[in-house]
Amino acid sequence: MERSSRWLLISARTLVALVFLLNGFGVINQAIPAKEMMERGVPPHIVPFAMFAGRFVEIVAGFALALGILPRWSALLLFAFLVPATFVSHSFWLAAGTPQFQGQLINFCKNLAIWGGLLFIAGSPMQPSLSSRRAANFDVRAQSGERPGAIHAQAD
């Protein structure tokens, strides 16, 4: 794989991760999702734990995804977080006939696009890393025409 493709993959993965990192660090206000969880039947004493767990997943898996540390697993973990979060926070069908309908529909569709990006990352066997050693290994495997996902031994 050419060097530019490697950096395009890293950039794309980092942009997807950025959404989760901003949310995890609270740059995006979490008061509304917490309120929506309670409105959908989550017991109020569980909401703080659920919010903490969600932020923890977003930060850890977001950094791992951006840095190329187990990117396929990180993408799947973020996907597992985002699917229920989408249905709780962007249930546009509950807002039918209200001014919030359009915004909820747009955000639901945006999350669907993020689902697709995460599944694309998870389904791509050769994900480059930011570390120089793993990056060199990625370039060698790609240039040799090695089958993606092939099992190979690495000497330490």
Task: Count CB-CB contacts under 10 A for residue 141.
Answer: 16
Domain span at residue 73 reads 3-143
Domain annotation covers residue 155: no
Q: Is residue 154 part of a domain?
A: no
Please spell the DSSP secondary structure of 43-103, one letter per residue: -TTTHHHHHHHHHHHHHHHHHHHHHTSSHHHHHHHHHHHHHHHHHHH--GGGGTTSTTHHH
**What's the structural domain count of the chain?**
1
96 assigned to some structural domain: yes
Residue 102 falls within a domain, yes or no? yes
Q: What is the model's pLDDT at position 30?
A: 83
pLDDT in tens, the chain (156 residues): 577 888 899 999 999 999 999 999 988 788 888 888 898 888 999 999 999 999 999 999 999 999 999 999 999 999 999 999 999 889 999 999 999 999 999 999 999 999 999 999 999 988 887 765 555 455 455 555 555 444 443 343
Residue 53 lies in a domain: yes
Q: What is the pTM of this model?
A: 0.79
152 in a structural domain = no
Q: At what angle do helices 3-24 and 101-122 cross, to 10 degrees?
A: 130
